[in-house]
Amino acid sequence: MFMFLTRRLLTSALVVLISTLVMYVLVSIAIDPLEDLRASTDPNKEALIASRTNALDLNTPVLLRYLDWLSGIPRGYLGVNWQTNQQVTELLSGAVTTTLQLVTVAALLAIMLGVFVGIVSALRQYSGFDYSLTLLSFLLYSLPTFWVAVLLKQFLAIEFNNFLDEPGIAWWFYVVVILASGIVTMAAVGGTARKRLQVFGIAAGAGLVAVAYMDLTDFFVTPGLGIIMVAVLGIAIAVGVTGLSTGLGDRRSLYAALTVAVLGVVLYYPMLYVWYYIEVNWLIIIGLGVLTVLVGLGVGLVWGGPDKWTVARTAALTAVPVAMLLFVDRLLSSWDSFVDNGLIRGRPISTSGRRTPNFDEGFWLNTLDLFGHLLLPTVTLVLISFASYSRYSRASTLEVLNQDYMRTARAKGLTERTVIMRHAFRNALIPLASIVPVDIITLVGGAVITERIFGWRGMGFLFADSLEKNIIDPVMAYLLIVAILAVVANFVADLMYAVLDPRIRVNA
């Protein structure tokens, strides 16, 4: 293992060194720091050119300039923006934070939705549901990012903000939700005609209740969940997580999950005291999240049984979304104050920027403002990435389902849930292990087009803006970070292979 890690470290360092050298030379050829002066009509034009050439050391051979830039890396010096005289490390600190805020949620949502939809599509192979998802995936995958962004700006921001001026749910919206929820769920579940009708009725009824609840409670004027919706959604989460994790036949897991859901309802009013009277920040929220997982594990261990850690896992998986319901409920309770704020002017969904300028109204309103700015770029990235993940997971699942050990598992009398979740799901993730880390690193490197369209000054914006202004040091810092993250992503992919497939071992 030691020799393996040593070899990987040395080869990775060599790859980064060679890639940065090649890129430094290419960028030096591509940009011209004297471009503005060459077109200048200033009488001191030649003196200005000579001064900048001397300041930027442009007469020195490019390889020597690269070595000089490289020598600053061990000291944490990545150069300077010569136009603003600002350290590149300062530019990177803000850009990295901005990009991480933008891509974290988008990457997680795209992976989870893509894998889930891909597996369901594979299980319903050659059905109308499968063909529809295939068509949708290829359509989304082929759409230009800038075009998707423009459509989202128009309909998800401008039109929705106009709708909030006079919110009201029309009769046709009831019909669309009822039919869509019933048809999609019925197609995904499949089965006999009788089962399809039952599923259609249940899903359509759930859609009707949801829309009626929003209409009767003026959800778009004063949104919120309330203790009743927290209870209903918490029980639904408990049943759903148990069904996927262990199956509803495992009574201990089901009771542990339901206990967590009931505990969330019991804590509803005490948490209101915490939300309203304690100064909250993201560190406290993360701490409460960790505590939530620990409480879920504890509840599962209390229920115990012969497989107590499986019960504990189910309870912990239930605890996280139940706790998120309490967080979302408190967040939505600040909606009125947020929308009526003079800086927001009744337009909560923003089309540009990371935050509203000069907006500082405390944790909850600032969080709503951040989410309002995150919505459009996040949806854009999710729509584009979701399509590829769904195709990868579908193809991988189909390959796994045709293996001999899957037929053996069914022949042994295992339930279909056990066959899919315990045998197919884990093995279907193995090919994705080489794709997901690289894709995440690519997003961390900056969604160049998305950041430019929505005005997010992240890594992609920094790279494109510096390249356009002929500033080499920020460009090279960006490329250095991307190169390092690329080799890290490949190493993480190898580790994920070993975790997902015990047959893979490192032979040092």
Q: Are 97 and 55 in contact (CB under 8 A)?
A: no
Give the Cβ contact number of residue 10 at 10 Å.
Answer: 10
Find the helix or strand (DSSP H, E) in which 97 lies.
helix 88-123
> Based on C-alpha coordinates, what's the Rg of the chain?
27
Distance from CA of residue 232 to its chain's centroid? 27
Band (47; pLDDT cuts 50, 70, 90): confident
| pLDDT value of position 508 | 40
Q: What is the dihedral of CA 20, 21, 23, 29, to 10 degrees?
A: 150
Q: Which of 416, 394, 422 is closest to 119 using CA atoms?
A: 394
Q: Between helices 363-401 and 145-152, what is the axis angle to 10°?
A: 130
Provide the 3-class DSSP secondary structure of residue 107.
helix
CB-side neighbour CA atoms (13 Å) of 104: 7
Q: Which of 486, 476, 478, 487 is closest to 12 using CA atoms?
A: 487
| pLDDT value of position 445 | 62
The mean-pLDDT minimum among 36-45, 152-161, 299-308 falls in 36-45
Band (259; pLDDT cuts 50, 70, 90): very high
> What's the helix, strand, coil split of the chain in %, to 5?
75, 0, 25
Tens of pLDDT along 402-451? Answer: 888 888 888 888 877 788 887 888 788 877 877 777 777 766 665 778 88
Q: Taking the complete model, does pTM exceed 0.85, yes or no?
A: no
Q: Is the predicted pLDDT of residue 69 greater than 90, yes or no?
A: no
Interior CA angle at 48 toward 47 and 51, to 5°?
85
The pLDDT mean for the chain works out to: 85
Running DSSP on this structure, what letter comes out for residue 81? E
Q: Are 105 and 374 in contact (CB under 8 A)?
A: yes
Q: Output 93 or 63, whichever has higher pLDDT.
A: 63
* Dist. CA 395–CA 133, nearest whole Å: 13
Q: Is the predicted pLDDT of residue 134 greater than 60, yes or no?
A: yes
What percent of the chain is modeled with pLDDT above 90? 13
Distance from CA of residue 488 to its chain's centroid? 19
| pLDDT value of position 438 | 75
Running DSSP on this structure, what letter comes out for residue 152? H
Q: Is the predicted pLDDT of residue 325 greater than 90, yes or no?
A: yes
Q: Are 376 and 151 in contact (CB under 8 A)?
A: no
At residue 223, what is the residue type? P
| pLDDT value of position 31 | 84
With 0-12 / 13-18 / 19 or more C-beta atoms within 10 angstroms meaning exposed / middle / buried, residue 293 is middle
* Dist. CA 381–CA 260, nearest whole Å: 33
Q: Are 480 and 76 in contact (CB under 8 A)?
A: no
Q: Is the predicted pLDDT of residue 506 greater than 60, yes or no?
A: no
Backbone angles phi, psi at 61, to 5 degrees: -55, 145
Q: Is the predicted pLDDT of residue 314 greater than 70, yes or no?
A: yes
| pLDDT value of position 496 | 75
Q: Is the predicted pLDDT of residue 170 greater than 90, yes or no?
A: no
Q: Are 363 and 370 in contact (CB under 8 A)?
A: no
Backbone angles phi, psi at 220, to 5 degrees: -80, -10
Q: Is the predicted pLDDT of residue 115 greater than 80, yes or no?
A: yes
* Dist. CA 169–CA 181, nearest whole Å: 17
With 0-12 / 13-18 / 19 or more C-beta atoms within 10 angstroms meaning exposed / middle / buried, residue 203 is buried
The mean-pLDDT minimum among 256-270, 291-305, 397-411 falls in 397-411
Find the helix or strand (DSSP H, E) in which 80 lies.
strand 80-81
One DSSP character per residue, 378-436 reads HHHHHHHHHHHHHHHHHHHHHHHHTSHHHHHHHHTT--HHHIIIIIIHHHHTTGGGGTH
97-100: long-range contacts (C-beta < 8 A, 24 or more apart)? Answer: 98/354, 98/456, 98/457, 98/458, 98/459, 99/443, 99/444, 99/445, 99/446, 99/447, 99/451, 99/456, 99/458, 99/459, 99/460, 100/444
Average pLDDT over residues 458-482: 86
CB under 8 Å to 425, separation ≥6 — which residues? 119
| pLDDT value of position 360 | 83
